[in-house]
């Protein structure tokens, strides 16, 4: 089905169409342009998308949004970024289905993917989601602009580094349901404390549609702060968590063979039993959030349970791969996409349950501001509890953790991912389970690729 026509794009953006064309997708990165995509020539601080128009059309683009003259089929506007937001607003306005906004310090991408899997299973219903982690000032409008008109359920992830960012993004998304997964230390370089993080995440509720539902983590110490943030905008506030007073809660949670968890939950006065394929206590919380949203939009809880039981790990967020090591194999838990203190602790707890010798490759956690040294050193007890026999610490900010681990765990401290990979080629043994976790900028995804390409 056609996503946009040139006429519709011009009407949405106030631009002028130079030719008739139709498109099936939207992209602003020329490397991602596919057949019949709309290419948006964004102008940034370091580059200008107009330079890549020929490349985009060589790859099959069906049309473009531009602010400069071009011979290619296009809609010309005064400002291409403003046009992207205008197209996002038009996409949101034409969808009659339920829209869900997801944010949080940890778990938002994984929960977004689980929600999509749960809602996409409904027979005859169409679900849409943000791809990858497109959750910022360009990613959110792009995800909206890609949303088909006949979408029944849309799951949009929203992130932030500074106060005020979510307040704007949520006015584009206009969710019927707004979920905060958790509050934890993250971006504290830009936000003074967890209360400020909670306030910034709570901005998501400001965009709720009239009568919309706010979903809040009951077990968070910032629960009441989030509830106060939601109260002026939400028609209904639902809590989820382990605590028996939560509206959506787990009455029992038992680890099963293979590392998943069997859960008995109470949702909207109903009992639901299901298995979560992904290991870790944090996934119990994610799953309860998923059920809270599914119930709020009137979708099928049983199908959601099936989806959670089949959900695989995402690259960089829990995917497991087997790598060759000499004459044997080792297991890699790929958590390389990002890290903060809460997610580090959660994934180290997952490693603690794994078979074999435990190796942890831990990259520095960035954007933690003045508290960075304490946050890094504070992971020592979790590393020990995870029964890590050898740790590879990556980045200068890991120095405090190295000091805290002295005499407790064998470790090496290296400056970058490349040197970490070289050390691993010596350290890794058949039968090992290795956790790889760090902030995205550390580049540990390249280390995982190196492991996948062969250790022998």
The binding site comprises 104-110
Backbone phi and psi for residue 122, each to the nearest 5 degrees, phi listed first: -65, 125
> Where does 146-235 have alpha helices with state H?
165-173, 194-201, 223-230
| Cβ 41 vs Cβ 138: under 8 Å | no
Four-residue CA torsion sign, 206, 207, 209, 215 = negative
The number of residues in the chain equals 456
d(CA 449, CA 332) in angstroms, rounded, equals 11
Dihedral, 191, 194, 195, 197 alpha carbons, nearest 10: 50
Enumerate the known binding-site residues for ATP.
Answer: 104-110
CA angle 304, 305, 306 (to 5 degrees): 90
Judged by DSSP in three states, 201 sits in helix
Place of tokens 């809460």: 342
d(CA 293, CA 272) in angstroms, rounded, equals 14
Place of tokens 């004459």: 327
Secondary element (H or E) of residue 449 = helix 444-452
Dihedral, 59, 20, 73, 86 alpha carbons, nearest 10: -90
d(CA 372, CA 363) in angstroms, rounded, equals 13
For residue 193, give every residue at least 6 positions away whose Cβ sits within 8 Å of its Cβ, in sequence order, or none. Answer: none
Tally Cβ neighbours within 10 Å of residue 163. Answer: 14
**Which 3-state string (H, E, C) describes 332-369?**
EEEECCCCCHHHHHHHHHHHHCCCCCEEEEEECCCCCH
Query: 131-146: b or e for each residue (b if 16 or more CB lie within 10 Å)?
Result: eebbbbbbbbbbbbbb
For residue 229, give every residue at least 6 positions away whose Cβ sits within 8 Å of its Cβ, in sequence order, or none. Answer: 198, 199, 202, 203, 205
| Cβ 161 vs Cβ 86: under 8 Å | no
């Amino acid at each position: 089905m056609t996503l946009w026509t040139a006429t519709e794009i011009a009407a949405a953006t106030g631009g002028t169409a130079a030719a008739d064309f139709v498109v099936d997708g939207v992209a602003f990165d020329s490397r991602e342009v596919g057949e019949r995509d709309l290419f948006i020539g964004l102008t940034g601080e370091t580059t200008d998308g107009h330079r890549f128009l020929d490349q985009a059309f060589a790859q099959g683009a069906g049309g473009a949004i531009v602010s400069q003259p071009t011979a290619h089929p296009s809609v010309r506007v005064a400002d291409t970024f403003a046009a992207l937001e205008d197209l996002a607003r038009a996409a949101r306005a034409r969808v009659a289905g339920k829209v869900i906004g997801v944010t949080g310090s940890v778990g938002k991408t994984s929960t977004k993917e689980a929600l999509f899997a749960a809602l996409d299973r409904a027979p005859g219903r169409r679900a849409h989601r943000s791809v990858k982690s497109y959750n910022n000032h360009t990613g959110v409008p792009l995800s909206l602009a890609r949303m088909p008109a006949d979408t029944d359920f849309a799951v949009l992830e929203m992130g932030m580094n500074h106060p005020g960012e979510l307040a704007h993004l949520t006015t584009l998304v206009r969710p019927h349901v707004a979920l905060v997964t958790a509050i934890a230390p993250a971006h504290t370089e830009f936000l003074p404390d967890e209360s400020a993080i909670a306030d910034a995440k709570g901005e998501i509720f400001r965009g709720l549609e009239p009568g919309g539902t706010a979903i809040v983590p009951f077990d968070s110490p910032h629960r009441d702060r989030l509830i106060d943030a939601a109260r002026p905008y939400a028609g209904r506030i639902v809590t989820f968590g382990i605590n028996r007073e939560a509206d959506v809660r787990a009455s029992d949670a038992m680890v099963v063979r293979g590392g998943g968890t069997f859960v008995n939950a109470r949702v909207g006065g109903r009992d639901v039993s299901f298995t979560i394929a992904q290991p870790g206590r944090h996934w119990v919380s994610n799953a309860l959030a998923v059920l809270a949203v599914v119930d709020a939009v009137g979708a099928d809880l049983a199908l959601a349970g099936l989806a959670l039981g089949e959900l695989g790990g995402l690259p960089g967020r829990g995917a497991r791969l087997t790598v060759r090591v000499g004459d044997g194999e080792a297991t890699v838990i790929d958590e390389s996409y990002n890290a903060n203190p809460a997610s580090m602790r959660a994934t180290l707890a997952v490693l603690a349950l794994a078979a074999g010798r435990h190796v942890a490759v831990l990259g520095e956690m960035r954007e933690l501001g003045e508290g960075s040294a304490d946050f890094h050193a504070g992971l020592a007890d979790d590393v020990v509890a995870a029964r890590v026999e050898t740790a590879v610490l990556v980045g200068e900010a890991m120095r405090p953790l190295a000091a805290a681990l002295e005499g407790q765990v064998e470790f090496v401290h290296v400056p970058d991912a490349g040197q970490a990979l070289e050390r691993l080629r010596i350290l890794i043994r058949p039968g090992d389970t290795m956790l790889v976790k760090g902030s995205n900028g550390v580049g540990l995804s390249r280390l995982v690729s190196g492991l996948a390409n062969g250790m022998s």
